[in-house]
Each structure stands twice: as structure tokens, then as C-alpha cells.
Amino acid sequence: MSKMLHGGRLGDVRADIVRFTSSRKSDARLADAVLAINKAHVIMLIEQEILKAQDGTKILSVLKKQTGLLLDPAAEDIHMAVEEAVLSETGSEVGGNLHIAKSRNDQTATAIRMALRAEILTVLGQITDIQQVLLETAKQHVQTIILQYTHLQAAQPVTFAHYLLMHADILGRDFERLVSAYERVNLCPLGGGALATSSFPINRQRTAELLGFNGVLENSLDAVGSRDFIIETQAALVLLAVNLSRFAEDLIVWSSAEFGTIELPDEFTSTSSIMPQKKNPEVLEVIRAHASYALGDFVAATATLKSLPTTYNLDFQEMTPKLWAVTDNLMASLSVVEALVPNIKVKTDDIETKAASGFVAATEVANMLVSKYNVAFRTSHKIVGALVKALIEQNKTLNDATPELLSEIALSVAKIKLTVKSSDIVACTNLHNLIETYKVQGGPSPAEVKRALNARIKITTENKNAVEKLKDALTAATNTLNSAVKNYSIYSQ
């Protein structure tokens, strides 16, 4: 416990207990926010004539030259470190008024929100950067055919561009969730005090404005006692982490010799210490593991919060490191994905062979029997299923299917006479022709993919601009605060 808090209600506290309850180590990333909070609070106290201008300017002059590196690392927490720094230069008669009408409770909640909103904006910027990379890479693969799988079994052909568009859209939803969370994070708890505001005539709107918040988190109990903004942000980040993990899993599987869909660049892989032929996708495996950490930290933070009584509890202190662990891991993963995507090599040399052996055109053969030969789909499904089975038993593919064999099977399994043109079967098994037919909205046909690409490029540009506006708003608030501090410094001279 800080020396400033000795000699009143409590006597001396054991050193090991101080170490056990201290948040000093994890407070480092809150230093700038805490200094800004104290500056804004002092300015408001002066403006409200709660604090004498000459005393306030002395305090501001000390705060102005402080940084996280200069603050006492042995202090109980970052808040006490700041106050002790002020007291050491101004004395208790002046510096002792720094804490008028505020508590560590509302100050901590405010500092976390300030640090978190900066982290959110960084992640939002990274998301739009990756979306741009995905879209730019997709432009190069509008005609590049790959196989997609269900249950890890070859299903239907699409294009690599279509696949990348999927991840751009998924990231778009991650973006929207984080923007929504940001709106609730960017509300100011300062002025809530310990839990019941203050009898001093403070102006909460003014401090919120100086700190760049969109408004005040009004109810004082809610202001100091709620951490749902942490859980909400973590939830959005967990979904982002899970989505990145699934992307990484695809690339891990597809880079294996058994699938052979892509080749990863050497600089994103490693080899075995004993098996010289290995090219292991370890970077992607770490991304996958980071998603597990994000989920675990989210559960830990939620479990910490779920049984706490109203208002402030020191359990909150244990939640915050879980939040920063998620943002740190995700930022690292996002950086890797952004660098990796443009360097992925798609392997298409044996796509026709893989498509044939995987019978990926079977669905289209069934569709063709419906559209051109008036066969009911369920009957068509049965016929084509039997056709595939027969071809497998003969160690053949759909490329070997003949009108005669199809007619024989139709009569056998469905009791219908069917005479199909050979050209209709061939058309179904031509991958490029097949892709062209998937021109329904959201499909992988080149024309539809180009339309979707143009739409996503526009949306991503708008999102990038929106993030920049949010950053500009915070920068403007910082400039306003610094100008106010400077003005009082001039006044004091």
C-alpha cells in the first residue's frame, strides 16, 4: 500500500501482501492514460473553481514533464506513482489536492477504456489492411480454380478469389463487431468517484471532452463497477481469433502433400531437426494456438466477473491483463496474416485430375439431368450416386462416364429410360465451364467475383476512412488537452 495511505485507518502493511495485490507491472500500458486523466481532472477543478489556479498550474507543470519511465516503479500502482511524483515536487499543501473528487476506482476504469480504445483502433486498422491484401490478391485469382471440401472430402470447384472474398467478408463482420464495441468503450466513467460521484461541483462532461470520449457513462455505480466493456471487446476479439484460426487451418491442410492446393513461402515455414524433407507450417500453427489463448483469457475474465457484487472489487485488477494478452496475441497474428497472404502460391497443375478423382462434377451432372432431361432431383441424385459408385468400382472417374453407362444405371436404380448426349456429360466435367455457370449472387463465377470485389473494395476504403476519423478525434482531444495544459503553464508564469 502507498505510504500516502498509511497512518489513517490502517497501520503498516506487510511487504509480501503489497506485492501480492500490486498491479504495478501490468499498469505500464496505462501510464499515458493516467497522466492525461490527471491533467484533464486538474484543468476541470480549476475551471470549476474547486482548486486554486496557482495550485493547479503547479500540479500541471509536474504532470506535464512526467512519463511512464520517470514514475516510481516501486509504487503500489500507477495512480499512486503519479500522485507521489506530484507530491514530491509540490508538497502536500498543493499536491495533496490532486485527488480531490476522484478515486482510483473511476480513474482505473477510465484509463483502461482509454488504453483499450487505442488497441481497438489498431486492430481495426489491421483488419482493413488485411482485407485490402485479400482483395488485391483475389484480383489475381479470379480464374484460378481450386477444390473446396466438406467433411474434408472433395465437394465442388470454386476459385481462389472466391475463397479469399469469403475471408474478406468474415473480417468485415469482425470489423463491425469491434466498431460497435468501441462505441460503448468510448464512454467516460471519470467523476463516478469511488461509487457515488462527489459533493464537489465537478463537470464530468468537461473531463470526458478533454479525454476524447463521446460521452459520459452516467450512473456512478455503473461507471466504476462495470467491466462488461472488457468482456464485450474480448468476445469480439475471440471471434476474430477463431476466424483467423480457421483460415490458418485451411492453409495448413491445403499445404500438405495430400491436398497440394497451395505452397507456403519458405520464410513462413520451418523444417525438421531430423527429417530434411519437411516444410512445416509452424507460423500458422502458432496463429491457431493464439486463438486458443484468446478463448481461454475470455473465459477467465468472464468467470472473474460473473459472481462479483456491485461496484468496485480488486478482482477487476486480474481481468485487465487477460484483455491485453488477447490484444497482443491478435495484433501479432494479424501482422503475420497480412504479410503471408500475398505470397501464397496456388498449385493448379493437377486440378483436373484431382477434380476427376474427387467426382466434384457429380452435383452438376445431377443438375443437368434435372434441367435438360426432366428428371426429378431426388431421382437424379440417386442415379448419379449409383453412377459414381460404379465408376469407383471400375477404378474410373466421371471423365469416363458414357451415355450408355448412365442409361444402364438409370434403368437399374430408377426404372426410367434415359438417353443423354455425350456433350452434356462433358460440359459438366469441364471445370472452367462449370465455374462460369455459378453466376448466382455470391457465387464463384468470374463475373460475379469481379462484381463482389469491386463492392468490397469500396466498403474497405470506407472502413479505413472511418478508422482514421476515429483516430483523428482522439488526436484532436489530445491536442486540446495539451493546449489547455500549456495555457495554464503560461498563466502560471
Question: Which residue, among 96, 174, 97, has the nearest Cα to 334 in the 3D structure?
Answer: 174
Please name the residue that has the C-alpha cell 495512480: 79
**What three-state secondary structure class fits 207?**
helix
Strand pairing class (145-150; 153-159): antiparallel
> CA 163 to CA 150: how far, in whole Å?
14
Strand pairing class (215-216; 262-263): unpaired
95, HSE (Cβ side, Cα atoms, 13 Å): 17
Q: What is the DSSP letter of 222?
A: H
> If you write DSSP's letter for every residue of 177-190 in order, what string do you get?
HHHHHHHHHSEE-T
**What three-state secondary structure class fits 91?**
coil
The pair phi, psi for residue 382, each rounded to 5°, is -65, -40
Taking a C-beta distance cutoff of 8 angstroms, is the pair 21, 104 a contact? Answer: no
User: Across 111-260, where does the E strand assignment appear?
Assistant: 145-150, 153-159, 187-188, 215-216
> If you write DSSP's letter for every residue of 387-422 in order, what string do you get?
HHHHHHHTT--GGG--HHHHHHHHHHHH-------H
Active-site residue, selected from the candidate residues 92, 151, 273, 423: 151
Active-site residue, selected from the candidate residues 88, 180, 256, 272: 272
**What three-state secondary structure class fits 74?**
coil
C-alpha cell at 22: 500490486
**Could you give the residue ranges of the DSSP H alpha helices within 341-400?**
351-357, 362-373, 377-393
As a whole number of Å, the end-to-end CA separation of the chain is: 36
Taking a C-beta distance cutoff of 8 angstroms, is the pair 236, 268 a contact? Answer: no
> CA 57 to CA 101: how far, in whole Å?
18
Taking a C-beta distance cutoff of 8 angstroms, is the pair 64, 71 a contact? Answer: no
Look up 151 and say whether it is catalytic: yes
Look up 162 and say whether it is catalytic: no
Strand partners of residue 187:
215
Please report, for residues 44, 90, 204, 478, the alpha-carbon distance to residue 484 in angstroms, rounded to integers and kept in the order given: 10, 20, 17, 10
> CA 444 to CA 449: how far, in whole Å?
6
What is the set of active-site residues?
151, 272
